[in-house]
Amino acid sequence: MSTISRFWTPANIQDFSNNTTQQTAMDAQWNTNLNGFTQQGIAGNPWNATNSPVASNYFNPLTDPAASSSAYVQITWSAFPGRIAAYFPTLSSTQQLELGDTGYLSSSNAAGQTVYTPFGNIPQTPCTPVATEQVPYGPYGPRGWQDEYCEWSVYRDPATNKIIRIDFTCENPEYWNTLWMIDPDQVLALYQQTLGKPQIQLADLQLMGSNGQPVIDPSTGRPVYNPLNKWNSGPVSTDSYGGAMHLTSTPNTLQTEIGLAGAATVQRIQSCEPNVGSPQNDLICCAQYGQLHRNSDPNIGYQTNQTVSGGYSVSLANPPGLYIQTPNFSTFAVPEGQTANPADFWQVVRGSDSLVDEFGNTMPGNFILHAAYEVPAELGFTVGDMTIQGQPINWGGQIVQQILMQIVAMGYAAPVAAAIPCVGTPDVSYAQPAQLFHQAVFTGLYATGISGVDFPMSLVSNSTLIAPLVAQGAVNVPMVLVCATVALGASGQLPAVSFSDPAISVSVVSAMPVTYAVPGNTYPSEYTALNIVVSVGASASLGLQDVYVTNVGQTQQAPMPSLLNIVSAI
């Protein structure tokens, strides 16, 4: 048996196939990122939760030699947001489709004007039997409600409002941020090619500061990527803005998916709150991962948990990712008198229909990352002239309802850790490291508001947990460490911060409250941002570093894995 050679990029896509040097750099950075995400997914929560142990039945295929002998488990779910029907069951099917496409319901007022009404409120604590506190429906953001790891944008004919093209994406934001780290110009070229919009400019994709200049990322010395740039923001696509290049809903991240799978491997004695909808939802309430009533999280977690209970250790199969499956087009119809096959309008723009792993095994399902549905102009009709199950295609969601998503897990026979009770709240909480930034990046992201939503949001909610880069020998690097459950001392003393390598020194300068959705979370929460200054000795170990945060008067607890990446000095 042997381990995998490295984590492949999603669908093993090679976006620098014409440049070996850049592809090698991309592969190395991606492997580092996925190794870090995997370590974080295994870590559990020893800081502010009980019964949230290290996920001993989730394995890292980079270090576990059983990876090459693992069997595959295909897990699928519907791509259309399941929480819409769960929380608003009285809506008609058309209203659900409108919410799925736009995030609003349209109606006419007494004056004949069109009024747009967003989602209503839902229970703040849905796992509680009698939930009285309400919050606006989330996730927030310009496509936040499309939270099944599939997002889409619709291009309509400006004259007739008929659908011309729909873009569907399940590409994770971590991958696109990594591409940007290697070569922003290639990111621009891929945007233009994938969306069919040569008018996109590099400046459109950069994060701009309040001074009108690009925010510079010290990790690369180049402008910061804006994941909610004008060409990847919202459900509408036009010639001047919009499109669905990669996922933007805050829980739609690959790091989250790995963390969810890791948490789901822990066996539980009993459900947390019975009768919250299903065994799948009971397990979410018990283990406290994901969101109730999604098609994805409850299904993924439950199937992972059941696989482990059968006597297995599991991991996401290589290449880890979320993948679109080809729809069944048997209920699609073209206009009367036309003979074209509706399946021919489905274009796999990125990814592949099939994939063979590095050991020569054919993997289950499709590995589609980006697809488009569009009728060739020469046929003389549009998607909006077609029907599904006899109904005109007025909404992109009608096609999304025909799409399944998948992840592929792999598992091998192994002893299973004993079942434990549900996750709970400890008597004493410890400071929990959550996310680390270069100060300039955090400041630029946090100061940028997200438009097109009814709930105030900051762009930092669309950041990633890719570890920032700091070179050996760097001195006095300003950074921001975001933490949960920080408690200042009686005289305002700040927590202590340190890294796993003692050659890295840290000074904690100040603390400030911040509110945002740490990547993977559905809703914003309150955190403490510690302004720190980091110096890295020339002898510091290269690679990922763990971070410790210790409140005054408390003993040091486990670190958060892989929040900092030490690289060679140039």
Contact 150, 79 (CB under 8 A): yes
* Gap between the Cα atoms of 390 and 397, Å rounded: 15
Please tell me the predicted confidence (pLDDT) of residue 250. Answer: 96
How confident is the prediction along the chain (570 residues), in pLDDT tens digits per residue?
A: 568 899 999 999 999 999 999 999 999 999 999 999 999 999 999 999 999 999 999 999 999 987 677 899 999 999 999 999 999 999 999 999 999 999 999 988 888 888 889 999 998 888 876 667 899 999 999 999 999 999 999 999 999 999 999 999 999 999 999 999 999 999 999 999 999 999 999 999 999 999 999 999 999 999 999 999 999 999 999 999 999 999 999 999 999 999 999 999 999 996 555 567 789 999 999 999 999 999 999 999 999 999 999 999 999 999 999 999 999 999 999 999 999 999 999 999 999 999 999 989 999 999 999 999 999 999 999 999 999 999 999 999 999 999 999 999 999 999 999 999 999 999 999 999 999 999 999 999 999 999 777 788 999 999 999 999 999 999 999 999 999 999 999 999 999 999 999 999 999 999 999 999 999 999 999 999 999 999 999 999 999 999 999 999 999 999 999 999 999 997
CB atoms within 10 A of CB 351: 22
SS3 string of 111-178?
A: CCCEEEEECCEEECCCCCCCCCCEEECCCCCCCCCCCCCCEEEEEECCCCCCEEEEEEECCCHHHHHH
Q: Which residues pair with 115 in a beta bridge?
A: 107
pTM for the full model? 0.97
What distances in angstroms separate CA 418 from CA 45, 51, 52, 305, 389, one per listed residue?
18, 12, 13, 13, 48
Bridge partners, 534 (sequence order):
477, 506
C-alpha–C-alpha distance, residues 121 and 319, integer Å: 38
Whole-angstrom distance, CA of residue 482 vs CA of residue 212: 26
Q: Going by C-beta distance under 8 Å and a sequence separation of 6 or more, which residues neighbour residue 510?
A: 494, 530, 531
Please give the Cα distance from 454 to 276 (Å, whole number): 28
Q: What is the pLDDT of residue 179?
A: 98
pLDDT at position 453 is: 73
Question: Parallel, antiparallel, or unpaired: how do β-strands 543-550 and 496-499 relate?
Answer: antiparallel
Alpha-carbon gap, residue 170 to 524, rounded angstroms: 23
Q: Give backbone dihedrals phi and psi of 95, rounded to 5 degrees, phi first.
A: -65, -40
